Amino acid sequence: MGPQSTEVEIPRLAAAKIGNDVGLLLAKLHATGSLLNNKALADYGLRERSFSVLTLACSGLEPTQRELADFLSLDPSQVVSLVDDLEHRGLVKRAQGKQDRRAKIIVSTAEGRRIHNKARAGLEVCEQTQLAALTEDENVQLRALLKKALWG
Amino acid sequence: MGPQSTEVEIPRLAAAKIGNDVGLLLAKLHATGSLLNNKALADYGLRERSFSVLTLACSGLEPTQRELADFLSLDPSQVVSLVDDLEHRGLVKRAQGKQDRRAKIIVSTAEGRRIHNKARAGLEVCEQTQLAALTEDENVQLRALLKKALWG
DNA sequence: TACGGATCATTGAAAAAGTCAACGATTGTT
DNA sequence: AACAATCGTTGACTTTTTCAATGATCCGTA
Protein backbone atom coordinates (compact mmCIF):
# COMPACT_ATOMS: atom_id res chain seq x y z
CA MET A 1 0.00 0.00 0.00
CA GLY A 2 1.37 3.34 -1.01
CA PRO A 3 1.68 6.26 1.33
CA GLN A 4 -1.56 8.02 2.08
CA SER A 5 -1.87 11.72 2.53
CA THR A 6 -4.57 13.25 4.62
CA GLU A 7 -5.22 15.95 2.08
CA VAL A 8 -7.32 15.15 -0.94
CA GLU A 9 -5.24 14.97 -4.05
CA ILE A 10 -6.50 14.64 -7.56
CA PRO A 11 -3.62 12.91 -9.23
CA ARG A 12 -2.55 13.74 -12.73
CA LEU A 13 -3.10 10.12 -13.70
CA ALA A 14 -6.79 10.16 -12.89
CA ALA A 15 -7.17 11.73 -16.31
CA ALA A 16 -6.23 8.46 -17.98
CA LYS A 17 -8.87 6.26 -19.50
CA ILE A 18 -8.05 3.88 -16.68
CA GLY A 19 -10.13 6.18 -14.55
CA ASN A 20 -13.13 4.58 -16.18
CA ASP A 21 -12.11 1.03 -15.51
CA VAL A 22 -14.56 -0.24 -12.90
CA GLY A 23 -12.12 -2.88 -11.78
CA LEU A 24 -9.46 -0.35 -10.95
CA LEU A 25 -11.87 2.08 -9.35
CA LEU A 26 -13.16 -0.66 -7.09
CA ALA A 27 -9.65 -1.79 -6.26
CA LYS A 28 -8.53 1.70 -5.40
CA LEU A 29 -11.52 2.67 -3.32
CA HIS A 30 -11.34 -0.65 -1.56
CA ALA A 31 -7.62 -0.26 -0.90
CA THR A 32 -7.81 3.20 0.59
CA GLY A 33 -10.97 2.26 2.44
CA SER A 34 -9.48 -0.87 3.96
CA LEU A 35 -6.61 1.11 5.32
CA LEU A 36 -8.92 3.52 7.10
CA ASN A 37 -11.31 0.84 8.25
CA ASN A 38 -8.58 -1.29 9.71
CA LYS A 39 -7.20 1.72 11.50
CA ALA A 40 -10.62 2.51 12.94
CA LEU A 41 -11.18 -1.09 14.01
CA ALA A 42 -7.76 -1.50 15.59
CA ASP A 43 -9.06 0.09 18.77
CA TYR A 44 -11.25 -2.96 19.24
CA GLY A 45 -8.68 -5.52 18.20
CA LEU A 46 -10.54 -6.12 14.98
CA ARG A 47 -9.77 -5.88 11.30
CA GLU A 48 -12.11 -5.58 8.34
CA ARG A 49 -12.37 -9.32 8.02
CA SER A 50 -12.89 -10.24 11.62
CA PHE A 51 -15.39 -7.42 11.90
CA SER A 52 -17.34 -8.87 9.00
CA VAL A 53 -17.40 -12.28 10.61
CA LEU A 54 -18.46 -10.77 13.91
CA THR A 55 -21.20 -8.80 12.21
CA LEU A 56 -22.62 -11.92 10.64
CA ALA A 57 -22.30 -13.78 13.91
CA CYS A 58 -24.33 -11.01 15.54
CA SER A 59 -26.94 -10.96 12.79
CA GLY A 60 -29.06 -13.79 14.08
CA LEU A 61 -28.69 -15.59 10.78
CA GLU A 62 -26.56 -18.32 12.32
CA PRO A 63 -24.18 -18.65 9.39
CA THR A 64 -22.09 -21.74 8.86
CA GLN A 65 -18.41 -21.35 8.18
CA ARG A 66 -18.98 -22.39 4.62
CA GLU A 67 -21.54 -19.66 4.18
CA LEU A 68 -19.13 -17.16 5.66
CA ALA A 69 -16.44 -18.26 3.25
CA ASP A 70 -18.73 -17.95 0.24
CA PHE A 71 -20.20 -14.66 1.30
CA LEU A 72 -16.91 -13.04 2.19
CA SER A 73 -15.07 -14.52 -0.78
CA LEU A 74 -12.59 -16.27 1.46
CA ASP A 75 -11.04 -19.69 1.46
CA PRO A 76 -12.62 -21.93 4.11
CA SER A 77 -9.28 -22.24 5.83
CA GLN A 78 -9.14 -18.50 6.27
CA VAL A 79 -12.50 -18.59 7.99
CA VAL A 80 -11.10 -21.13 10.42
CA SER A 81 -8.38 -18.69 11.45
CA LEU A 82 -10.77 -15.78 11.79
CA VAL A 83 -13.23 -17.75 13.88
CA ASP A 84 -10.43 -19.23 15.96
CA ASP A 85 -9.26 -15.77 16.83
CA LEU A 86 -12.70 -14.44 17.68
CA GLU A 87 -13.52 -17.53 19.67
CA HIS A 88 -10.33 -17.36 21.73
CA ARG A 89 -11.28 -13.83 22.63
CA GLY A 90 -14.74 -14.90 23.67
CA LEU A 91 -16.59 -12.89 21.03
CA VAL A 92 -18.18 -15.79 19.15
CA LYS A 93 -18.90 -19.46 19.70
CA ARG A 94 -18.96 -22.43 17.39
CA ALA A 95 -22.22 -24.35 17.69
CA GLN A 96 -23.19 -27.56 16.05
CA GLY A 97 -25.16 -27.22 12.84
CA LYS A 98 -28.81 -28.05 13.24
CA GLN A 99 -29.59 -30.00 10.10
CA ASP A 100 -26.00 -30.85 9.33
CA ARG A 101 -23.66 -32.06 12.04
CA ARG A 102 -20.62 -31.48 9.86
CA ALA A 103 -21.32 -27.78 9.74
CA LYS A 104 -20.62 -25.36 12.57
CA ILE A 105 -22.72 -22.31 12.98
CA ILE A 106 -21.11 -19.18 14.33
CA VAL A 107 -23.00 -17.25 16.96
CA SER A 108 -22.01 -14.20 18.94
CA THR A 109 -21.54 -14.01 22.69
CA ALA A 110 -22.86 -11.14 24.79
CA GLU A 111 -19.34 -9.74 24.87
CA GLY A 112 -19.11 -10.14 21.12
CA ARG A 113 -22.25 -8.10 20.64
CA ARG A 114 -20.95 -5.46 23.01
CA ILE A 115 -17.70 -5.07 21.10
CA HIS A 116 -19.50 -5.20 17.82
CA ASN A 117 -21.78 -2.31 18.69
CA LYS A 118 -18.86 -0.15 19.69
CA ALA A 119 -16.83 -1.08 16.65
CA ARG A 120 -19.73 -0.49 14.29
CA ALA A 121 -20.21 3.01 15.63
CA GLY A 122 -16.56 3.78 15.06
CA LEU A 123 -16.64 2.31 11.61
CA GLU A 124 -19.63 4.34 10.53
CA VAL A 125 -17.84 7.55 11.35
CA CYS A 126 -14.87 6.28 9.39
CA GLU A 127 -16.99 5.43 6.39
CA GLN A 128 -18.60 8.81 6.35
CA THR A 129 -15.20 10.43 6.29
CA GLN A 130 -14.23 8.16 3.47
CA LEU A 131 -17.25 9.02 1.38
CA ALA A 132 -17.31 12.65 2.39
CA ALA A 133 -17.22 13.71 -1.23
CA LEU A 134 -20.64 12.17 -1.78
CA THR A 135 -23.95 13.65 -0.74
CA GLU A 136 -26.25 11.56 1.41
CA ASP A 137 -28.31 10.65 -1.65
CA GLU A 138 -25.28 9.58 -3.59
CA ASN A 139 -24.14 7.55 -0.65
CA VAL A 140 -27.40 5.64 -0.61
CA GLN A 141 -27.26 5.32 -4.38
CA LEU A 142 -23.78 3.86 -4.28
CA ARG A 143 -24.80 1.19 -1.81
CA ALA A 144 -27.82 0.31 -3.90
CA LEU A 145 -25.77 0.01 -7.07
CA LEU A 146 -23.15 -2.16 -5.41
CA LYS A 147 -25.79 -4.45 -4.00
CA LYS A 148 -27.58 -4.70 -7.30
CA ALA A 149 -24.35 -5.43 -9.12
CA LEU A 150 -23.66 -8.22 -6.68
CA TRP A 151 -27.04 -9.83 -6.32
CA GLY A 152 -29.28 -8.35 -8.99
CA MET B 1 -10.88 -16.70 -2.49
CA GLY B 2 -13.78 -19.02 -2.03
CA PRO B 3 -15.09 -21.25 -4.73
CA GLN B 4 -17.04 -19.44 -7.37
CA SER B 5 -20.13 -20.78 -9.02
CA THR B 6 -21.10 -19.78 -12.50
CA GLU B 7 -24.72 -19.37 -11.55
CA VAL B 8 -25.86 -16.26 -9.79
CA GLU B 9 -26.74 -16.95 -6.20
CA ILE B 10 -28.36 -14.59 -3.77
CA PRO B 11 -26.96 -15.85 -0.52
CA ARG B 12 -29.00 -16.00 2.59
CA LEU B 13 -26.46 -13.80 4.32
CA ALA B 14 -27.02 -10.86 2.00
CA ALA B 15 -29.97 -10.11 4.24
CA ALA B 16 -27.68 -9.11 7.09
CA LYS B 17 -27.08 -5.51 7.87
CA ILE B 18 -23.59 -6.12 6.62
CA GLY B 19 -25.10 -5.86 3.18
CA ASN B 20 -25.17 -2.12 3.80
CA ASP B 21 -21.55 -1.83 4.81
CA VAL B 22 -19.86 -0.02 1.94
CA GLY B 23 -16.50 -1.45 2.92
CA LEU B 24 -17.68 -5.00 2.64
CA LEU B 25 -19.63 -4.39 -0.53
CA LEU B 26 -16.55 -2.92 -2.15
CA ALA B 27 -14.40 -5.75 -0.90
CA LYS B 28 -16.75 -8.36 -2.25
CA LEU B 29 -17.35 -6.80 -5.63
CA HIS B 30 -13.65 -6.19 -5.96
CA ALA B 31 -12.84 -9.77 -4.99
CA THR B 32 -15.21 -11.43 -7.41
CA GLY B 33 -14.30 -8.92 -10.08
CA SER B 34 -10.57 -9.47 -9.70
CA LEU B 35 -11.02 -13.16 -10.15
CA LEU B 36 -12.85 -12.69 -13.43
CA ASN B 37 -10.56 -9.94 -14.65
CA ASN B 38 -7.43 -11.92 -13.99
CA LYS B 39 -8.93 -14.87 -15.78
CA ALA B 40 -9.76 -12.68 -18.78
CA LEU B 41 -6.29 -11.14 -18.81
CA ALA B 42 -4.45 -14.44 -18.46
CA ASP B 43 -4.73 -14.96 -22.21
CA TYR B 44 -2.39 -12.02 -22.66
CA GLY B 45 -0.02 -12.90 -19.85
CA LEU B 46 -1.34 -10.02 -17.80
CA ARG B 47 -3.01 -9.60 -14.44
CA GLU B 48 -5.10 -6.74 -13.12
CA ARG B 49 -2.04 -4.95 -11.82
CA SER B 50 0.23 -5.30 -14.79
CA PHE B 51 -2.67 -4.35 -17.02
CA SER B 52 -3.15 -1.16 -15.03
CA VAL B 53 0.51 -0.29 -15.36
CA LEU B 54 0.41 -1.03 -19.06
CA THR B 55 -2.69 1.10 -19.48
CA LEU B 56 -1.01 4.06 -17.87
CA ALA B 57 2.13 3.47 -19.88
CA CYS B 58 -0.03 3.61 -23.02
CA SER B 59 -1.89 6.70 -21.90
CA GLY B 60 0.62 9.24 -23.08
CA LEU B 61 0.80 10.69 -19.57
CA GLU B 62 4.36 9.43 -19.08
CA PRO B 63 3.91 8.46 -15.45
CA THR B 64 6.85 8.06 -13.12
CA GLN B 65 7.08 4.95 -11.00
CA ARG B 66 6.29 7.01 -7.97
CA GLU B 67 3.10 8.26 -9.58
CA LEU B 68 2.17 4.72 -10.49
CA ALA B 69 2.69 3.63 -6.91
CA ASP B 70 0.55 6.44 -5.54
CA PHE B 71 -2.18 6.06 -8.08
CA LEU B 72 -2.42 2.29 -7.83
CA SER B 73 -2.02 2.26 -4.04
CA LEU B 74 1.09 0.13 -4.26
CA ASP B 75 4.43 0.14 -2.52
CA PRO B 76 7.17 1.51 -4.78
CA SER B 77 8.95 -1.82 -4.61
CA GLN B 78 5.91 -3.53 -6.06
CA VAL B 79 5.97 -1.17 -9.00
CA VAL B 80 9.58 -2.16 -9.62
CA SER B 81 8.53 -5.79 -10.00
CA LEU B 82 5.61 -4.98 -12.25
CA VAL B 83 7.67 -2.76 -14.52
CA ASP B 84 10.53 -5.26 -14.55
CA ASP B 85 8.17 -7.90 -15.81
CA LEU B 86 6.59 -5.74 -18.47
CA GLU B 87 9.96 -4.44 -19.59
CA HIS B 88 11.45 -7.93 -19.92
CA ARG B 89 8.58 -8.79 -22.19
CA GLY B 90 9.15 -5.72 -24.30
CA LEU B 91 5.82 -4.07 -23.54
CA VAL B 92 7.13 -0.97 -21.79
CA LYS B 93 10.40 0.92 -21.46
CA ARG B 94 11.95 2.90 -18.66
CA ALA B 95 12.97 6.35 -19.81
CA GLN B 96 14.82 9.03 -17.91
CA GLY B 97 12.67 11.62 -16.20
CA LYS B 98 12.69 14.94 -17.92
CA GLN B 99 12.84 17.41 -15.07
CA ASP B 100 14.08 14.90 -12.52
CA ARG B 101 16.85 12.50 -13.38
CA ARG B 102 16.13 10.35 -10.39
CA ALA B 103 12.69 9.52 -11.71
CA LYS B 104 11.99 7.06 -14.49
CA ILE B 105 9.00 7.51 -16.70
CA ILE B 106 7.28 4.45 -18.06
CA VAL B 107 6.31 4.45 -21.71
CA SER B 108 4.78 1.76 -23.85
CA THR B 109 6.38 0.08 -26.85
CA ALA B 110 4.51 -0.59 -30.07
CA GLU B 111 4.14 -4.19 -28.99
CA GLY B 112 2.88 -3.03 -25.62
CA ARG B 113 0.17 -0.97 -27.25
CA ARG B 114 -0.79 -3.89 -29.46
CA ILE B 115 -1.19 -6.23 -26.50
CA HIS B 116 -2.96 -3.57 -24.51
CA ASN B 117 -5.60 -3.03 -27.15
CA LYS B 118 -6.37 -6.71 -27.35
CA ALA B 119 -6.44 -7.12 -23.58
CA ARG B 120 -8.65 -4.10 -23.12
CA ALA B 121 -11.21 -5.48 -25.52
CA GLY B 122 -11.29 -8.76 -23.63
CA LEU B 123 -11.56 -6.99 -20.33
CA GLU B 124 -14.49 -4.86 -21.41
CA VAL B 125 -16.50 -7.93 -22.28
CA CYS B 126 -15.59 -9.35 -18.90
CA GLU B 127 -16.68 -6.22 -17.09
CA GLN B 128 -20.00 -6.16 -18.84
CA THR B 129 -20.63 -9.71 -17.75
CA GLN B 130 -19.70 -8.74 -14.25
CA LEU B 131 -22.08 -5.82 -14.13
CA ALA B 132 -24.77 -7.51 -16.14
CA ALA B 133 -27.32 -6.84 -13.41
CA LEU B 134 -26.98 -3.12 -13.98
CA THR B 135 -28.56 -1.15 -16.79
CA GLU B 136 -26.32 0.96 -18.96
CA ASP B 137 -27.37 4.06 -17.06
CA GLU B 138 -26.63 2.47 -13.73
CA ASN B 139 -23.28 1.32 -15.04
CA VAL B 140 -22.35 4.88 -15.92
CA GLN B 141 -23.73 6.09 -12.61
CA LEU B 142 -21.62 3.61 -10.68
CA ARG B 143 -18.42 4.74 -12.36
CA ALA B 144 -19.30 8.36 -11.70
CA LEU B 145 -19.97 7.72 -8.03
CA LEU B 146 -16.77 5.77 -7.56
CA LYS B 147 -14.75 8.49 -9.22
CA LYS B 148 -16.42 11.16 -7.18
CA ALA B 149 -15.85 9.23 -3.97
CA LEU B 150 -12.18 8.97 -4.84
CA TRP B 151 -11.41 12.41 -6.19
CA GLY B 152 -14.40 14.58 -5.41
C1' DT C 1 -29.47 -51.14 5.13
C1' DA C 2 -24.99 -50.44 3.24
C1' DC C 3 -22.12 -48.51 -0.19
C1' DG C 4 -20.00 -44.46 -2.76
C1' DG C 5 -19.48 -40.00 -3.82
C1' DA C 6 -19.94 -35.36 -2.13
C1' DT C 7 -19.53 -31.69 1.44
C1' DC C 8 -17.96 -29.64 5.96
C1' DA C 9 -14.26 -27.98 8.97
C1' DT C 10 -9.54 -28.42 9.73
C1' DT C 11 -4.57 -28.86 9.07
C1' DG C 12 -0.25 -27.92 7.09
C1' DA C 13 2.76 -26.75 3.33
C1' DA C 14 3.86 -23.93 -0.60
C1' DA C 15 3.37 -19.74 -3.30
C1' DA C 16 2.24 -14.97 -3.68
C1' DA C 17 1.68 -10.47 -1.94
C1' DG C 18 2.53 -6.94 1.18
C1' DT C 19 5.62 -4.28 4.45
C1' DC C 20 9.66 -2.09 5.75
C1' DA C 21 14.32 -0.37 6.27
C1' DA C 22 18.48 0.75 3.91
C1' DC C 23 21.24 2.30 -0.14
C1' DG C 24 23.25 5.27 -4.17
C1' DA C 25 21.93 8.86 -7.09
C1' DT C 26 19.87 13.11 -7.56
C1' DT C 27 17.20 17.15 -6.21
C1' DG C 28 16.06 21.44 -3.86
C1' DT C 29 17.05 24.46 0.09
C1' DT C 30 19.78 27.02 3.05
C1' DA D 1 29.08 23.78 -0.12
C1' DA D 2 26.23 21.31 3.11
C1' DC D 3 22.03 19.27 4.35
C1' DA D 4 17.75 17.02 4.27
C1' DA D 5 14.40 14.99 1.19
C1' DT D 6 12.99 12.15 -2.80
C1' DC D 7 13.37 8.47 -6.50
C1' DG D 8 14.10 3.77 -7.75
C1' DT D 9 16.01 -0.40 -6.16
C1' DT D 10 17.29 -4.28 -3.25
C1' DG D 11 16.72 -7.64 0.25
C1' DA D 12 14.70 -9.36 4.47
C1' DC D 13 10.72 -10.20 6.80
C1' DT D 14 5.76 -10.88 7.72
C1' DT D 15 1.23 -11.64 6.24
C1' DT D 16 -2.05 -13.43 3.07
C1' DT D 17 -3.51 -16.56 -0.30
C1' DT D 18 -3.80 -20.95 -2.41
C1' DC D 19 -4.11 -25.79 -2.51
C1' DA D 20 -4.15 -30.65 -1.41
C1' DA D 21 -5.13 -34.03 2.10
C1' DT D 22 -7.94 -35.79 6.13
C1' DG D 23 -11.78 -37.43 9.31
C1' DA D 24 -16.53 -36.83 10.06
C1' DT D 25 -20.94 -36.58 8.19
C1' DC D 26 -24.51 -36.33 4.65
C1' DC D 27 -27.13 -37.87 0.67
C1' DG D 28 -28.58 -40.70 -3.15
C1' DT D 29 -28.95 -45.25 -4.81
C1' DA D 30 -28.77 -49.98 -5.13
Phi, psi of A8 (to 5 degrees): -80, 125
> Are the C-beta atoms of B28 and B22 separated by less than 8 Å?
no
Each residue of A17-74: pLDDT tens digit?
777 888 888 888 888 888 889 989 999 999 999 999 999 999 999 999 999 999 999 9
* High-pLDDT (> 90) share of chain B, %: 62
B75 in contact with A at a CB cutoff of 8 Å? yes
Interacting residues of B34 by C-beta distance below 8 A, sequence separation 6+:
A23, A27, B48
Residues 6+ apart with CB under 8 A from A139: A131, B22
Q: What percent of chain B has pLDDT over 70?
A: 93
Q: Which residues contact B139 (CB under 8 A, 6 or more apart)?
A: B131
Q: What is the pLDDT of residue B119?
A: 93
Per residue in B8-28, pLDDT (tens digit) is 567 888 877 777 788 888 888
Specify the nucleotide whose C1' lies closest to residue B64 (CA). Answer: D7
Q: Which residue of A has its CA nearest to B24?
A: A52
B47 touches strand D (CB under 7 A): no
- What is the per-residue pLDDT for B33? 87
Question: Which one has a higher pLDDT value, A9 or B88?
Answer: B88
Residue type, B132: A
User: What are the tens digits of pLDDT across the range B58-105?
Assistant: 999 999 999 999 999 999 999 999 999 999 999 999 999 989 999 999
For residue B26, the chain A residue with the least C-alpha distance is A30
- The answer to whether B50 faces chain A, any CB pair under 8 Å, is no
The better pLDDT of the pair B11, B138 is held by B138
| Interatomic distance A102 CA / D24 C1' (Å) | 7
Note if the pTM is more than 0.85: yes
Please check whether residue B152 touches A, CB under 8 A.
Answer: yes
Cβ <8 Å between B22 and A48: no
Query: For residue range B96-111, what is the model confidence (pLDDT) as tens digits?
Result: 998 999 999 999 999 9
